[in-house]
A and B are shown apart, each in its own frame.
Chain A
Amino acid sequence: MSPMPQRFAAVAAVALLAVPAMLPLVSAALAWAAPEGEIWQHQLQHVLPRVTGNTVLLLVLVAAVTGVLGTALAWLVAGHEFPGRSIFAWALLLPLAVPGYVLAVVFAGALDFAGPLQSWLRDALGVGVRLPPIRSLGGAALVLSLCLYPYVYMLARVAFETGGARTLEAAQTLGMDRRSAFRRALLPLARPAIAAGVGLVCMETLADFGVVAALNVDTFTTAIYRAWYGMFSIAAALQMAAVLALLALAGVWVERRLRGGRGFAGQRPNGALPRLTLTGARAFAATGIASFVLAVAFVLPMAQLLAWAVKHAASDLDARYWAFAGRSVALAASGSLVVVAAALVHGYALRLERRPWLLGLGRLATVGYAVPGTVLAVGLFAPVAALNTWMQDRLDIAFGASAPQVFLQGTLLTMFVAYLARFLAVGTGPVESGLERIHRNLDEAAMLLGARGAGRLRRLHLPLLRGSLLAAAVLVFVDLMKELPITLMTRPFGFETLAVRVFEMAAEGEWERAALPSVLIVAVGVLPVVLLARRVTHVA
């Protein structure tokens, strides 16, 4: 039914949007074709084994801790009544608002040998008392677990609350008490959701750069960074990136397989889960556990952050600070504009042309959300540099000695293309569900009444999509405010944002001075978490 030009435009748009995500993967893969002698030998012998070991160990630790912690908190909140439950229900999501590197900075500063906690312990218990070092693999696992457990908590809770009531009742009529009903019926029911949550946690852990960099742990992301900035070997960085990308894509594949089998989100609410009212010591313990997690993961670190920020405000809250903030906001705003516009084009093209192969191509475009930012940054650097050389050659031929200098690497081009690759999926989510809610009959009605192409988009879809587009823009904006590795690795020389500033202060061990830029990032980050918390709380 669709005319040829429309089909061509739709296919071209979707194909073009797949380029940012595919290009870095291709250039990383190509790096294996030409192994670079010495440096690569060094990497292979000394770096790769250690990095792989650290990355895998970190993944296992974080997955285990978040899986247990997230599920336990979800069951506590979904299945029990205790003082403060309704507050904890949403407050336990708050750690999502804190970027990992900010939490890492606070922990590193607070748990340092000279930091407040250790000093207090020494005063109280004697000079010999020492905590295990926070700047270690264990410390990184702790920080990442505290940041990421909300993913598991959220998905597990929704699973318990939507599908749990009937299951629990059925199990109880079959003679099980509450405890064994949980273990033998509810837990298996929620297993796909828990697995999905742990899957998300693993993706985030694999992609993390800020926490491991601040806490001095060698993983793939830091190895890529060091190969590039330490050894100036783009080839070695790309080869590392290829291995990391392979791990990440394997993760995507496993996740899609897990989700494909059992639709964990397909459950419709079947009545409220009856909550067991805890009393006495058990109620006290429940409130205590929830408070402890929230305090360690959010309240105390934020209090410490604010205290440091206030302490250094007098000296650091200057024009330079506002320049970082302005740059961050401008970058996040323009980036989210680009990403949301692309998401709209993506969603609209797929709506016009619903062919299975085009949907597949569309999914390729959004696979970038799983590719770590470090991989995208180095993977896009090589093609952009090649493009730069090619353009320079053309100009030199045309103008000779008077040819203007091209310097694409000095622009924000690479950064925006990498943003597009990594965050397109964040934008397409709300846009697609928004478009899905607009019944196709409305398109046909508009068509019969003479509204075509752009007119239909303007008069019908844009007004109906306003909410979804705004939601997408807010989500992308916040993600871009927090984003570290892409901005760090693709920025023009001397271009500093809040996140980059935090990273630089952390690199110099100036933990307290990293607080002031962190505060603003967290403040912005709280916004979508509150929105999310409200939605999740209203599910049941």
Chain B
Amino acid sequence: MWLELRDAVRRFGARPALHGVSFGLEEGEVGCLLGPSGCGKTTALRCIAGLETLDGGSILSQGRVLEGPGVHLPPHERGIGLVFQDHALFPHLTARGNVEFGLQHLSRPGRRARAAEMLELVGLGDCTDAYPAQLSGGQQQRVAVARALAPRPATLLLDEPFSSLDVALRERLVGELRALLKSLGATALVVTHDQQDAFALADRVALMREGRLEQWGTPYDLYHRPVSRFAAEFVGQASFLPACCGGSGELQTELGPLVEGHGGNAACGGEVDVLLRPDDVVHDDVAPLKARIVERVFRGAEFLYTLELPSGRRVLSLVPSHHDHRIGESIGVRLATDHVVTFPPLRGVTAAGAP
């Protein structure tokens, strides 16, 4: 393991912010800590950087103990780079001055050369003498990345790197950042609350909830094989439909039978709830089963319809946008589920809706 957290515990007063979190990154992997605010993801990042001290467990980098019982390496001895949420650029230094800040161990020409190289790498070769205030948000972020990478850290940490940027810029920068990290072969850990960013950026995602690691896996796994209702609802949109286990391992639902496809956790044991993603419910004019549209959201390429089944339960369906139906109309639907995921039913909940 290149970077590893073992059973990390961090308390603020009586309230634990990290509740025994363990995961590891291999060399060159980009990991992502995903979760709602207050789930402990930023605390985990700050503990790795050495800005906070663990109350239990340990942190290792390339087998070296950074943090453990009786060990707390100071931040600058860890070989960890950090890109702050607000970039934290030094306002009194130019872009080059910022990048050179962490290179005091080099000679002056050495610093110059390394700074020039890094700024070139992030595409700011002609802004080296600009002050942070003269740079756009995206450029500031790239300076922050260059500054963090300049001292050649073993691992780069990024705290909500896109939260301060506008949406239009965001999508492009996510792609650029991933390309940059991959071209450098950098090992990186990114904190975000945005599932889209996590999916676009990361090889592996750690989904966190209330200081615990809910699920650790690839983005594909997280979406299609969520281990809990929380995971299913936080990552993408989800609706749940009750199902009954037939004799031959078939699940019977209101929308017809479901057959185990390419995976999932379908276990046969009486009553269960089946996870349905909006793309699992397909609009088909010839389907015998009709559902009434109760809500619709136009998304450009497709509509997201909320459908009410005859039983009164609601499911979400993603439909290509040339199928323009009005609220109140009934349309034919059928199931097209590859990954059947089931959860034990929730008592007292009759209809599942979108988060």
- CA A459 – CA B102 in complex, angstroms? 11
Q: Is the CB of A1 within 8 A of B52?
A: yes
Q: Is the CB of B90 within 8 A of A460?
A: yes
Given A439-B88, A464-B91, A464-B92: A447 and B75 interface contact (C-beta under 8 Å)? yes
Q: Is the CB of B81 within 8 A of A448?
A: yes
| Size class of the A contact interface (CB-based, 8 Å) | 10 to 19
Q: Is the CB of A1 within 8 A of B53?
A: yes
Name the residue on A nearest B93 (C-beta). Answer: A463
Chain B residue contacts of A452, Cβ below 8 A: 74, 76
Chain B residue contacts of A459, Cβ below 8 A: 101
Interface residue? B302 (CB, 8 A): no
Interface residue? A539 (CB, 8 A): no
Chain A residue contacts of B75, Cβ below 8 A: 444, 447-448
List which B64-121 residues lie within 8 A (CB) of chain A. 74-76, 80-82, 84-86, 88, 90-92, 101-102, 104-105
Minimum C-beta distance from A312 to chain B (A): 49
- CA A292 – CA B76 in complex, angstroms? 64
Chain B residue contacts of A445, Cβ below 8 A: 82, 84, 88, 90, 147
| Size class of the B contact interface (CB-based, 8 Å) | 20 to 34
- CA A455 – CA B84 in complex, angstroms? 21
Interface residue? A450 (CB, 8 A): yes
Minimum C-beta distance from B103 to chain A (A): 8
Q: Is the CB of B147 within 8 A of A449?
A: yes
Supplied contacts A441-B85, A444-B84, A446-B101, 12 more A-B pairs, CB within 8 Å = A439-B86, A441-B86, A442-B90, A444-B49, A447-B51, A448-B49, A448-B50, A448-B51, A448-B82, A449-B147, A450-B151, A451-B101
- CA A460 – CA B88 in complex, angstroms? 12
Minimum C-beta distance from B1 to chain A (A): 22
- CA A367 – CA B91 in complex, angstroms? 34
Chain B residue contacts of A439, Cβ below 8 A: 86, 88
Name the residue on B nearest A443 (C-beta). Answer: B88
- CA A361 – CA B82 in complex, angstroms? 35
Describe A's contact surface by its main secondary structure: helix
Minimum C-beta distance from B75 to chain A (A): 5
- CA A29 – CA B162 in complex, angstroms? 60
List which A446-482 residues lie within 8 A (CB) of chain B. 446-452, 455, 459-460, 463-464
Minimum C-beta distance from A508 to chain B (A): 53
Describe B's contact surface by its main secondary structure: loop
Name the residue on A nearest B88 (C-beta). Answer: A441
Q: Is the CB of B80 within 8 A of A448?
A: yes
| 18 A-B interface contacts by CB (under 8 A) | A439-B88, A444-B49, A444-B75, A445-B82, A445-B84, A445-B90, A447-B76, A448-B49, A448-B50, A448-B51, A448-B80, A448-B82, A448-B102, A449-B101, A449-B102, A452-B74, A452-B76, A464-B91
- CA A365 – CA B233 in complex, angstroms? 55
Chain B residue contacts of A1, Cβ below 8 A: 51-53
Minimum C-beta distance from A441 to chain B (A): 4
Contact check: which of B51, B52, B76, B148 meets A450 at CB < 8 Å? Answer: B76
- CA A464 – CA B131 in complex, angstroms? 14
Name the residue on A nearest B53 (C-beta). Answer: A1
Chain A residue contacts of B50, Cβ below 8 A: 448
- CA A463 – CA B97 in complex, angstroms? 13
Please report A residues at the B interface, Cβ cutoff 8 Å.
1, 439, 441-442, 444-452, 455, 459-460, 463-464
Chain A residue contacts of B86, Cβ below 8 A: 439, 441
Chain B residue contacts of A450, Cβ below 8 A: 76, 102, 104-105, 151
Given A441-B86, A463-B92, A464-B92: A449 and B76 interface contact (C-beta under 8 Å)? yes
- CA A444 – CA B83 in complex, angstroms? 11
- CA A449 – CA B100 in complex, angstroms? 10
- CA A4 – CA B135 in complex, angstroms? 40
Minimum C-beta distance from A414 to chain B (A): 39
- CA A445 – CA B92 in complex, angstroms? 14
Report, nearest first, the 3 A-B pairs whose CB atoms are least far apart: A449-B102, A441-B88, A450-B76
Contact check: which of B80, B88, B102, B105 meets A442 at CB < 8 Å? Answer: B88
- CA A215 – CA B308 in complex, angstroms? 92
- CA A278 – CA B148 in complex, angstroms? 61
Please report B residues at the A interface, Cβ cutoff 8 Å.
49-53, 74-76, 80-82, 84-86, 88, 90-92, 101-102, 104-105, 147-148, 151
Name the residue on A nearest B46 (C-beta). Answer: A444
Chain A residue contacts of B91, Cβ below 8 A: 464
Chain B residue contacts of A446, Cβ below 8 A: 90, 101
Name the residue on A nearest B92 (C-beta). Answer: A463
Chain A residue contacts of B92, Cβ below 8 A: 463-464
Chain A residue contacts of B80, Cβ below 8 A: 448
- CA A447 – CA B81 in complex, angstroms? 11
Chain B residue contacts of A442, Cβ below 8 A: 88, 90
Minimum C-beta distance from A396 to chain B (A): 51
Name the residue on A nearest B77 (C-beta). Answer: A450
- CA A441 – CA B75 in complex, angstroms? 13
Name the residue on A nearest B159 (C-beta). Answer: A441
- CA A1 – CA B52 in complex, angstroms? 7
- CA A447 – CA B84 in complex, angstroms? 13
Name the residue on B nearest A442 (C-beta). Answer: B88
Residue with the greatest number of chain B CB neighbours at <10 A, chosen from A450, A451, A455, A463: A450
Minimum C-beta distance from A27 to chain B (A): 42
Minimum C-beta distance from A106 to chain B (A): 46
- CA A460 – CA B51 in complex, angstroms? 18
- CA A445 – CA B49 in complex, angstroms? 10
Q: Is the CB of B84 within 8 A of A441?
A: yes
Chain B residue contacts of A451, Cβ below 8 A: 76, 101, 104
Name the residue on B nearest A455 (C-beta). Answer: B104
Chain A residue contacts of B51, Cβ below 8 A: 1, 444, 447-448
Q: Is the CB of A448 within 8 A of B76?
A: yes
Chain B residue contacts of A447, Cβ below 8 A: 51, 74-76
Chain A residue contacts of B147, Cβ below 8 A: 445, 449
Chain A residue contacts of B84, Cβ below 8 A: 441, 444-445
- CA A509 – CA B296 in complex, angstroms? 92
Chain A residue contacts of B151, Cβ below 8 A: 449-450
Chain B residue contacts of A464, Cβ below 8 A: 90-92
Chain B residue contacts of A444, Cβ below 8 A: 49, 51, 75, 82, 84, 88
- CA A444 – CA B45 in complex, angstroms? 13
- CA A399 – CA B81 in complex, angstroms? 62
- CA A446 – CA B82 in complex, angstroms? 11
- CA A449 – CA B151 in complex, angstroms? 8
Minimum C-beta distance from A445 to chain B (A): 4
- CA A242 – CA B227 in complex, angstroms? 73
- CA A446 – CA B100 in complex, angstroms? 11
Chain A residue contacts of B52, Cβ below 8 A: 1
Chain A residue contacts of B82, Cβ below 8 A: 444-445, 448
Minimum C-beta distance from B299 to chain A (A): 36
Residue with the greatest number of chain A CB neighbours at <10 A, chosen from B53, B75, B104: B75
- CA A460 – CA B104 in complex, angstroms? 14
- CA A451 – CA B100 in complex, angstroms? 12
- CA A1 – CA B101 in complex, angstroms? 23
Name the residue on A nearest B104 (C-beta). Answer: A450
Name the residue on A nearest B49 (C-beta). Answer: A448
Minimum C-beta distance from A448 to chain B (A): 5
- CA A459 – CA B84 in complex, angstroms? 19
Minimum C-beta distance from B212 to chain A (A): 24
- CA A446 – CA B104 in complex, angstroms? 12
Minimum C-beta distance from A255 to chain B (A): 33
- CA A459 – CA B50 in complex, angstroms? 21
- CA A464 – CA B86 in complex, angstroms? 18
- CA A445 – CA B148 in complex, angstroms? 9
- CA A464 – CA B89 in complex, angstroms? 12
